[in-house]
Structure 1
Amino acid sequence: MRQLSLGKSGPQVSALCLGCLNFGTNTDKSLSYRLLDQYMDAGGNFLDTSNNYAFWNGSGLGGQSETLLGEWMKEQGNRNRIFLATKVGANPTIPGAGFSSKEGLSKMAIHKAVDDSLKRLQTDYIDLYYAHIDDTDVPLEETLEAFNQLVESGKVGAIGCSNYYTWRLEEARSISQSRGFAHYQCIQQRYTYLRPRLGADFDVQLSVSEEMLKYINTHEEIALLAYSPLLNGAYSRQDRPIPVQYAGLDAEARIAVLQQIAEETSATCNQVVLAWMLSNSPVTLPLIAASTPEQLQENLLALDVALTPEQIQRLNEATY
């Protein structure tokens, strides 16, 4: 599988990252193992999970995805072949309370959470550790100092953030630079081909803004990763309507161009969206997810879709 750097001088990772959100809950052990094996057999090495996955599917507390991955890696003996990412900050501290009782990003919370994650993952290091949701109740300097301590101790290789506004990402970069701390090497945001409607609300999730795209283009040391790039099947499934946050005339115009280019390239709309992310500026690493081997195979074949500069331009300029 094609490899890309995580930022200008960061580690090499697979161009398509496998999201493991439902593994161990809605996706049972047998199917999770099959999908993981399929991804690895295709040359993939980049796995994405979180300490709160997926508390909304069951017990009210997360950790199920990490636990399954830890068991799978131990059985396969393949930890050294995997670039493993997990997250801290959004796991509930009270069963059933959800994000209202999230652990946050204090120094104490981070140090406790990383040890819990390492235990569930059955490893002594995490390749990429994310601040999952920005915590404005804790000084950024405290959060970054805690992450830096984890990097210096060897528990964590690199750090990233998710669901941050652009100005907060820049503030974090400035603090790390001035204090000599490890810096965020990537940011993971909600991002897809369709553009959110003005004022669209995604609750705790933050969608990529035009400001963020420009920021990433001028800060090559920070990579952009996209979660929910395929809108849970809305580009391809009749039973999955376009989410209300995107629906409208602009979406209709962009879908029309997307379908034209899918026909021109003999690809699916899903594959064109993923290929567009990997070919556009800034280059974006998509997180793919699947609940069947067929879905995963479709996503993996996006790497074979070659878009011309003219097709990328048409996709970018499509609007109502």
Structure 2
Amino acid sequence: MKYRTIGTDPAHRREVSVLALGAMLFGSLTDEKTSFAVLDRYVEAGGNFVDTSDNYAFWTDGGQGGQSEELLGRWRRSRGIGDEVVIATKLGARPLAPGTGYTDNPEGLSAEVIREAAERSRDRLGVDRLDLLYAHIDDYTVEQRETVEGFGALVAEGTVGLLGVSNQAMWRVERARALAAAAGLPGYEVLQYQHSHLRPRFDVPSEFSPYGSLGHAGAELLGYLRAEPDLTLVAYSPLLAGAYVREDKPLPPDYDHPGTPARLAVLREVARETGATVNQVVLAWQIGADLPIVPLAGASSLAQLEENLAAVDLELTADQRARLDGVH
């Protein structure tokens, strides 16, 4: 396994594996036995960066979520896992009542919610401190200063380590970080957005980023990442839920545009040259990028996990990377 550093404060920064494991469906659509097996193998291979959320996976049973965090808590306790595994979670998008969702009835990002939701996540995970806590979605009903101060208070108390943000406009991210800096508070250091080799259109709904264009790592976000070298991008849905390789999973409408065939062609070309799968080329392209990108890939079977793990050691040549980067 290979590792990179996230965070800048020596008290909170962590060395995490360059491939993160998504636990979104663990404890719901992926049963406990399989989930435990995937987690065990990931850790055995040197993986130590697991991602979840307090609302995973509310849509599977019409509830409010929490299944993934609860499963991770059971796994940690049964395996004696301590702080050697970095578990990132999110808050803000948990439905306030069963049968509702993050668009019509989210918990939001008030200081009270941040404190209470973080405490519930710690209880479900069985930890005293959340290694990395994200604002899952934006909340325009609350002053950003309140949100910034709410997250900062948890870091000051020692119940949260690093802070991250997901699915927010870059101007909102920058404003929140500026408010934190001005107040001497910790700010967002990890960005979690949807990012893959194929590029989506932003004018049609997205299957892979339900938050629309705000959830995609487009040119603005990548430029921001280049200008702020202390930030890290955790790229969710890098493999587009199998759409690269599965005939039964066609690309959705936002990837149906004239730029897609050329990018698919170069991916397949590099896959043939390396003897790797297209999925492995996508992950290796992200892992070896000149920007700090950590792909976040889920796995519902050991076979899927093994394929993903093999991408860590796939070294693309400078020519292959130039072709993958240069196609438009």
Q: TM > 0.5 between the two?
A: yes
Query: What is the aligned partner in structure 2 of residue 241 from structure 1?
Result: 250
Is the Cα–Cα contact under 8 Å of residues 14 and 45 in structure 1 kept in the other structure? yes
Residue type at the aligned position of 2:87 = L
C-alpha root-mean-square deviation of aligned residues, in Å? 1.2
Cα shift at 1:164: 1.3
For residue 261 of structure 2, what is the amino acid of its counterpart? Answer: E
Q: Is the 8 A contact 1:8 1:220 kept in 2?
A: no
Partner of 1:275: 284
Map of 2:4 onto structure 1: 4
Deviations 1:226-276 (CA, angstroms, capped at 9, x unpaired): 000000001111111112111222111100000000111111000000011
Q: What amino acid does structure 1 have at the position aligned with 2:28?
A: T
* CA distance in structure 1 between the aligned counterparts of 2:41 and 2:202, rounded to whole angstroms: 39
In structure 1, the gaps of 5 or more residues are none
Residue 326 of structure 2 is matched in structure 1 by: 317
Q: 1:182 and 2:186 equivalent?
A: yes
Q: Deviations over 1:176-217 (max 9, x none)?
A: 110001111110001111011241333425111101101101
Whether 1:204 aligns to 2:220 is: no
Among 89, 93, 97, the residue aligned to 2:92: 89
* Contact 1:60-1:98 within 8 A present in 2 as well: no
Distance 2:99 2:41 in 1: 34
Q: Which of 290, 302, 315 pairs up with 1:306? A: 315
CA drift at 1:224:
0.6
Question: SS at 2:189's partner residue?
Answer: strand
Match of 1:133 among 131, 134, 137: 137
Kindly state the Cα deviation for residue 281 of structure 1 after the two structures are TM-superposed: 2.9
Match of 2:125 in 1: 121
Distance 1:240 1:283 in 2: 29
Q: Equivalents in 2 of 1:63, 1:198: separation in Å?
A: 30
Matches of 1:201 and 1:8, distance apart in 2: 36
Total equivalences in the alignment: 319
Distance in 2, Cα, partners of 1:94 & 1:303: 40
Q: Distance in 1 between matches of 2:202 and 2:111?
A: 36
Cα 1:297–1:285 shift into 2, 3 Å: same
Amino acid aligned to 2:136: H
The runs of 5 or more residues in structure 2 that have no matched partner are: none
2:44 to 41, 53, 59: 41
Deviation digits for residues 281-308 of structure 1 (CA, Å, limit 9, x no counterpart): 3231000111110010000000111011
Provide closer, same or farther for how the CA distance between residues 150 and 8 of structure 1 changes in structure 2, counting only shifts above 3 A. Answer: closer
Q: Which residue is 2:299 aligned to?
A: 290
Equivalent residues of 1:86, 1:130 under 8 A apart:
yes
2:204 partner amino acid: A
Matched-pair contact (CA < 8 Å) for 1:49–1:86: yes
Q: For 1:145, what is the secondary structure of its paired residue?
A: helix
- After TM superposition, the runs of 4+ consecutive aligned structure 1 residues lying more than 3 A away are 7-10
- 1:125/1:158 Cα in 2 relative to 1: closer, same or farther (>3 Å)? same
Residues 198/149 of structure 1: CA separation in 2 closer, same or farther (3 Å cut): closer
Match of 2:65 in 1: 62
Q: Is the contact between residue 19 and residue 287 of structure 2 (CA under 8 Å) also seen in structure 1?
A: no
Q: In 2, Cα distance between the equivalents of 1:300 and 1:196?
A: 26
SS in 2 for 1:249: coil
User: Shift of the alpha carbon at 1:312?
Assistant: 1.1
Task: Verify the 8 A CA contact 1:55 1:62 in the aligned structure 2.
Answer: yes
1:80, CA displacement in angstroms? 2.4
| 2:238–2:296 Cα contact (<8 Å) kept | yes
Alignment partners' CA distance in 2, 1:139 and 1:264 = 52
Is it true that 1:147 corresponds to 2:151 in the alignment?
yes
Shift of 1:137: 1.4
Amino acid of the residue matched to residue 171 of structure 2? W
Shift of 1:8: 5.6
Q: Indicate conservation of the 8 Å contact 1:7/1:220, yes or no.
A: no
Partner of 1:264: 273
Bigger mean CA deviation after superposition, 41-50 or 309-318:
309-318
Moved more, 277-286 or 221-230: 277-286
Measured after TM superposition, the shift of residue 41 of structure 1 is: 0.5
| Partners of 1:98 and 1:185 in 2: CA distance | 27
